[in-house]
Amino acid sequence: MIDTKEQYNSIVSSLKDKSTYKLAVLKNTKQQFDQLKEEAEKLAEELCAEVDCVDDITVSFSSKGEFQAEIRFGEDIIVLFLHNDVFDFEKSHSIWKRSYVEEDRKHAYCGMISIFNFLKTSFDMNRAEDVGYLVGRIFINRDSHYFVEGKKQLGFLYNDFGTAVFDRTAMRSVLMSAIQYCQEFDLLTPPFNSVSQIQVGMILDISNRMNVKTGKRLGFQFSWDAESQE
């Protein structure tokens, strides 16, 4: 026979402890995202002032609401996206090897901010078929400790979880690393066979936009994603 009293007490305990903790994680991540947007706007203004004398090169920031913001620079756009959920990690993830998490497993509960890269012309010309790429993911816990998963600088510079704090200096550094990473990759032509056929309607509309899927090849592989390809 199931002890319903014990079940009830377990549910109450979980609501008081785990659920309350996760709400605190969400609240803190939202506050951090608001500050990240402020730093992104500042950085964009500074970069814009530096390149003001260069024709057709602009840098700008725009907030797209509570959960999204954009930085436009040159031919690229970085989209910052705040997820309205709290995340845990698979048992094979390296986070579980850290003493900071071993001392309290709730330290592993994190909010997440994703960084995506798109071509500026994809937005300007409303090319809905174009693709963007995930550049990195920022994980932040209730105490503002953070780490970043991504490639190159984003994958190895920001992994001191339990010590590093996502303050404004860290925010600026992560943003600059993301911008620098995007600048290192140029637009590649799509495979020949992928554009060997084209619809009549696409040709008729070609004066306004070329509706062929376009995007930089920025493939990367996170440590747990064995099926991803470089």
DSSP-derived secondary structure for 7-45: HHHHHHHHIIIIIHHHHHHHHHHHHHHHHHHHHHHHHHH
* Contact call for residues 177 and 153 (beta carbons, < 8 A): yes
Walk across the sheet containing 59-63 and list its strands. Answer: 59-63, 68-73, 76-82, 111-119, 133-140, 146-150
Residue 17, classed as helix, strand or coil, is helix
Query: Given this model, what pLDDT does residue 211 score?
Result: 46
* Contact call for residues 20 and 26 (beta carbons, < 8 A): no
Burial class (CB in 10 A: 0-12, 13-18, 19+), 55: exposed
User: Of 84-88, 151-155, 221-225, which one has max mean pLDDT?
Assistant: 84-88
pLDDT band at 50 (very low <50, low <70, confident <90, very high): confident
Q: Which amino acid is at 227?
A: E
Q: Quote the tokens at residue 102.
A: 């071993």
Distance CA 63, CA 171 (A): 16
Q: What is the pTM of this model?
A: 0.79
Q: Quote the tokens at residue 16.
A: 């008081």
Distance CA 181, CA 170 (A): 16
Reported as a single tens digit per residue, the pLDDT across 97-120 is 999 999 999 999 999 999 999 888
Distance CA 159, CA 137 (A): 12
Reported as a single tens digit per residue, the pLDDT across 200-224 is 665 566 545 544 455 555 433 434 4
